[in-house]
Amino acid sequence: MQFDSCFDIIGPIMVGPSSSHTAGVVSIGKFVHTWLGDLDHVTITFYGSLASTYQGHGSDKAIIGGLLGLSSRDLNIRSAYALAKDRHLDYHFTLVPDAPPDYHPNTVQVEAASRAGTLHIIGASIGGGVAMIYAINHQEASINLGTGVDIDTIVAKTKKEVSDV
């Protein structure tokens, strides 16, 4: 695991009990929201430790909050289920306790649809509020969503790179 700053090790200012199970997971959800805009339907698959502890550590509310466009500092994460209902977001969780051997223990897969299209990503919350995106629409990726990064800029750059392929 590589950190770019001592603040990545200390962890972010955030809502929730766990930087790896909450803040990083919010970033993965926010990446999807930034890519597609307001979502209609999403299937979330938690692997490994996320599958085992997602409710206790708030990973479920974190991913929904991120998918709604919230940041890890937003107190509305606590009300993510109610916000999702208000915004008519249809979501489903799948839990896979035994992650494939090549997956990080905190891996999440998101399959999302909106009026703008569909997106399939695989990412992991790797600790300290840092997340990585490993695959976008079944194509390998390596995108660091460290604390304090501008997800809007990362998504815009990544969308351009994907469209140039």
pLDDT digits (tens, 9 = 90+) for 100-138: 888 888 999 999 999 999 999 999 998 877 899 999 999
CATH superfamily of 15-164: D-3-phosphoglycerate dehydrogenase; domain 3 (3.30.1330.90)
Task: Give how far Cα 30 sits from Cα of 98, 110, 139, 149, Å.
Answer: 25, 11, 19, 12
| DSSP character at residue 98 | S
Higher pLDDT, 12 or 153: 153
Model confidence band, residue 1 (pLDDT cutoffs 50, 70, 90):
very low
Residue 14 has pLDDT above 50, yes or no: no
Of the candidate ranges 8-12, 54-58, 75-79, 123-127, the one whose mean pLDDT is the lowest:
8-12
By residue count, the chain amounts to 165
Q: What does the alpha-carbon distance between residue 6 and residue 158 come to, in Å, rounded to a whole number?
A: 26
* pLDDT of residue 153 exceeding 60: yes
Mean pLDDT for the chain overall:
86
- Cα(71)–Cα(16) distance, rounded to whole angstroms? 12
For residue 23, the model assigns a pLDDT of 79
